[in-house]
Amino acid sequence: MTTEGEEAAFEAGIKLGALYHQWVGTPISKETADTVERAIERSVSLQPHVVETAVRLRRELMVPNRFGYTELRGEMFDVRIVTRVGNAVCHATLSLEDGYPMMQITEIGR
């Protein structure tokens, strides 16, 4: 039997993994970044147990190719997500850590 906290952490991890793999490779530019951020937030917020999502994309890493855009890469993500299962709440992030996009649980509480 799992605890509500464990289930909330599992849900957060699933959401971050799906977000990462769904959006990496998306054509993006500094001009479209706001729209993509909102689309990711709205998409993730539809999923069960999600109570809050904040997405920021690191524009300084968006170097346009000869066609005027770049592809969204893992190191561009700065994501915070909150999930709730029963009374348990999990805070998790996806952000650049030592040059690598890391997903981590930052807090589990009630």
| Sign of CA pseudo-dihedral 32, 79, 24, 74 | positive
Cα–Cα dist 73/77, whole Å? 8
pLDDT at residue 110 above 90?
no
**Tokens coding 57:** 């994309």
pTM above 0.85, yes or no: yes
* Average pLDDT value for the chain: 96
107 strand-pairing partners:
91
Helix locations, the chain, DSSP H: 4-23, 33-45
Cβ atoms of residues 86 and 79 within 8 Å: no
As for how many domains the chain has, the answer is: 1
Question: Mind listing the pLDDT tens digit for each residue in 47-76?
Answer: 999 999 999 999 999 999 999 999 999 999
Range of the domain at 76: 4-109
Cβ atoms of residues 94 and 17 within 8 Å: no
CATH of the domain at 71: 3.30.1300.20
| pLDDT at residue 9, as a whole number | 97
